[in-house]
Amino acid sequence: MGVTIHFEGQLKSDADYDKVMMTAKAFAEINAMEFSFFEASEKLLQRVKGEEDWDYLGATKGIIIQPHETSDPLILEFD
């Protein structure tokens, strides 16, 4: 059994996105974690907001960090 964390937020600019990605990359490198950047032109994100379905279909991008071979990846994904 594990822990799943979902987060919601908003970046104000492309520069803020770049800063988050470079910070996450530096964290992964310092801790010798595998990582990869990704972009998807169309992806379905199934969400719930206020107990209502609030799905998103569209472009996403971000970084996937693998903390340990036996753990689930840490995914920072932005639409």
* pLDDT given for residue 34 in this prediction: 98
The pLDDT tens digits for 23-58 are 999 999 999 999 999 998 888 777 777 788 877 788
Distance of CA 3 to the CA centre of its chain: 16
Q: What is the pTM of this model?
A: 0.81
High-pLDDT (> 70) share of the chain, %:
99
Q: What is the DSSP letter of 26?
A: H
Residue 19 has pLDDT above 80, yes or no: yes
**CA 53 – CA 48 distance, rounded (Å):** 5
